[in-house]
Amino acid sequence: MSLNILKNNSYFCTNKISVKNMIETDIIIIGAGPVGLFTVFEAGLLKLKCHLIDSLPQPGGQLTEIYPKKPIYDIPGYPTVGAGELITNLMAQIKPFSPGFTLGESAVSIDEVEDDKFIVTTNKGTQHKAAVVIIAGGLGVFEPRKPPVENLEIFEDKGVEYIIKDPEFYRGKKVVVAGGGDSALDWSIFLIENKIVSELSLVHRRNSFRGHLDSVQKIMDLADEGKINLITEAEVTGILGSDVVEGVTIKHKTQGEFIKACDHFVPLFGLKPSLGPIGSWGLEIEKNAIKVDTEAYTTNRPGIYAIGDVNVYPGKLKLILCGFHEGTIAVQSAFARIHPDKKNVLKYTTVNGVNGF
Amino acid sequence: MAEEENMVKVYIIDREGVKHELDAPTDMSMNIMEVCKAYELPVEGRCGGMAMCATCQCYLESDTELVEQSDSELDMLDEAFFVEDNSRLGCQIPITNEIDGVILRLAPEGN
């Protein structure tokens, strides 16, 4: 799904801009899920430009990342709509307003600067400047699920990796992959078939896999041929090494513990959302959500709004349609902040149509 | 056993080992995860009940017969942590008369 969005929608661009180029816009939207995306539309009706930041490599948030094929039944006007389809529709709806996207990067800081503006910086150093920041972060930044392995975090970047960015990194190395899903299967197959690693062990807690049948069959074939060490009914329990990874301890369900020497341990257990940096921006947090005032979904920092699943207020419902409403209200307030001299008059799309940029 | 019609007793042992007795309605299409959240037990239910996060994982400690596990539940447990032979996903256990008296222990956090 995500690759289709990238290939088919020519208007969509990923900003790969060097640190030196500040991205300036009217509204920075943190989170490109359905609520962040629809906010672009409402802002566009007020002639406000938006730029979205998301840690995932594609827009759509939870809908594209977790449940693209699930039907949703409570989007007004759609008795049923697929999650992925809803995102495709939203991207089409906001197309006239040419939003900018910084994808695959997570917002780490919001700093106040002169002229009552903010600079939002990502983990890759990309900077964005605007008078208004709307946080539509959903359940939070997607981070790798880390298995309960002793010493795991100590060895991060010292032999423990959660994503494979460049397979060449593993050339000639002994690698232990853990996981039972498509990611673990496909990467194991890739690293062996392309003769990258010197040795590959795949550790899984069960003795059967539930990934795509083709991948599962391939792994079985490679194991039969002796090209992959398939270690099933086992889990990695600890990491060994004086400075970098030198081995892992593996506990078998019935045969006890043993040590496997290796250079890298790559646990591939998917992603999970986490509040992350949002919790350190000086905002009032309650139950992993940002407290807002429902008059305009403002936070305790003037100029910063929070909409969608990421906010909390008495009576809050974590529904997409509620997020749509909250974004619509928030941009009216954003307009007043950006154009204090102008008075906005509500214009209906049935009267004025949609005038893109 | 429950005394009221349309209510069953569910026992949840939390992560401190404390056993909670919950009254769960059988006529509201609820599941174990939702009942735990209604009683403000520390069950995250991050995915909302789609068998996509394993934060509602629990261990069946009574000999109650539960509904058979679906492929979705098995797929999720395949990738979850702290899984034992008696692991179930709370969101996939519907509240029905058949589960009256069930005892479930919450799995550790970290999924």
Which residue of A70, A139, A179 is in closest CB contact with B79?
A179
Going from the C-alpha of B95 to that of each of A58, B27, B41, B59, B61, the distances in angstroms are 38, 8, 17, 16, 17
**pLDDT confidence bin for A11, thresholds 50/70/90:** very low
Q: Which residue reads 């058979």 in tokens?
A: B68
* Domain locations along chain A: 2-143+272-352, 153-269
Mutation to test the A interface, candidates B34, B37, B73, B78, most A Cβ within 10 Å: B78
Distance from CA of A30 to the nearest CA of B (A): 20
Smallest Cα distance from B81 to chain A, Å: 7
Helical pair A320-338 and A34-45, crossing angle rounded to 10 deg = 40
pLDDT digits (tens, 9 = 90+) for A286-300: 989 999 999 999 999
Whether the Cβ atoms of residue B28 and residue B97 lie closer than 8 Å to each other = no
Two structure tokens written together for B66: 């539960």
Contact at CB, A181 and B79, closer than 8 angstroms: yes
Q: Report yes or no: B21 and B41 within 8 Å, Cβ to Cβ.
A: no
On the question of pLDDT at A101 being above 90, the answer is yes
B11 neighbors B109 (Cβ within 8 angstroms): no
pLDDT for residue A5 is more than 60: no
Nearest-CB residue to A270 (from B46, B71, B79):
B79
Task: State how far the Cα of A56 lies from the Cα of A137, in Å rounded to an integer.
Answer: 11
Contact A205 B83 (CB under 8 A): yes
Q: Which of B48, B50, B110 sits opposite A148 (nearest CB)?
A: B110
Write out pLDDT tens, residues A192-231. Answer: 999 999 999 999 999 888 888 999 999 999 999 999 999 9
Structure tokens at A185: 């299967």
Query: According to the per-residue pLDDT averaged within each range, which of A17-26, A31-40, A157-166, A206-215 is highest?
Result: A31-40
On whether ipTM exceeds 0.90, the answer is no
Residue B85 has pLDDT above 70, yes or no: yes
How many Cβ contacts (< 8 angstroms) between chains A and B? 35
Cα(A238)–Cα(B91) distance, integer angstroms: 31
Residue in B with minimal Cα distance to A147: B81
Highest CATH level, class, for A153-269: alpha beta
Q: Is A238 on the interface with B (CB under 8 A)?
A: no
Q: What pLDDT shows up at residue B2?
A: 53
pLDDT score recorded for residue A346: 87
Which of A139, A148, A206 is the closest to B46 by Cβ?
Answer: A139
CB contact under 8 A, A148 and B53: no
Q: Tell me what pLDDT residue B1 has.
A: 53
As a whole number, the mean pLDDT across chain A is 92
Task: At A71, list the tokens.
Answer: 């039907």
- Chain B nearest-CA residue for A140: B46
pLDDT digits (tens, 9 = 90+) for A242-262: 999 999 999 999 999 999 999
A253 to chain B, any CB pair closer than 8 A? The answer is no
B46-59: pLDDT as tens digits: 999 999 999 999 99
The SS3 assignment for A245 reads coil
Measure CB to CB from residue B82 to each of A148, A206, A272 and give the nearest one: A148
Per-residue pLDDT averaged across B75-99, rounded?
A: 95
Whether residue A34 has pLDDT greater than 50 = yes
Tell me, what's the pLDDT at A83?
97
Residue-wise pLDDT tens digits, A52-90: 999 999 999 999 998 999 999 999 999 999 999 999 999
* pLDDT for the residue numbered A215: 94
* Dihedral pair phi/psi, residue A249, rounded to 5°: -95, 135
Beta strand A27-30 with A50-54: parallel, antiparallel or unpaired? parallel
Q: Tell me the chain A residues in contact with residue B91 when contact means C-beta distances shorter than 8 Å.
A: none
pLDDT in tens, A304-351: 999 999 999 999 999 999 999 999 999 999 999 999 999 888 889 999
The pTM of this model reads 0.85
Residues B84-103: what's their mean pLDDT? 97
> Is there a common fold for A2-143+272-352 and A153-269?
yes
Domains and CATH numbers, chain B: 7-106 (3.10.20.30)
Q: Provide residues of B within 8 Å CB-CB of chain A.
A: 46-48, 50, 52-53, 71, 74-75, 78-79, 81-83, 108, 110-111
CB–CB contact B78 A206 (8 Å): yes
Most distant pair of Cα atoms in chain B: their distance: 39
Q: Which of A142, A153, A272, A310 to mutate to test the interface with B (most CBs of B within 10 A)?
A: A272
From B51, B63, B65, select the one nearest B97 (Cα to Cα): B65
If pLDDT is split at 50, 70 and 90, which confidence band does B9 have?
very high
Closest chain A C-alpha to B3 CA, distance in angstroms: 32
Residues with Cβ within 8 Å of A84's Cβ and at least 6 positions away in sequence, in order, are: A1, A60, A63, A64, A68, A69
Q: Cβ B111–A66 below 8 Å, yes or no?
A: no
Q: Domain A2-143+272-352: give its CATH code.
A: 3.50.50.60
Q: Do B111 and A70 touch (CB under 8 A)?
A: no
Length of chain B: 111
The closest CB to that of B78, out of A67, A139, A180, belongs to A180
Contact B52 A148 (CB under 8 A): no
Residue range A122-169, pLDDT digits in tens: 999 999 999 999 999 999 998 899 999 999 999 999 999 999 989 999
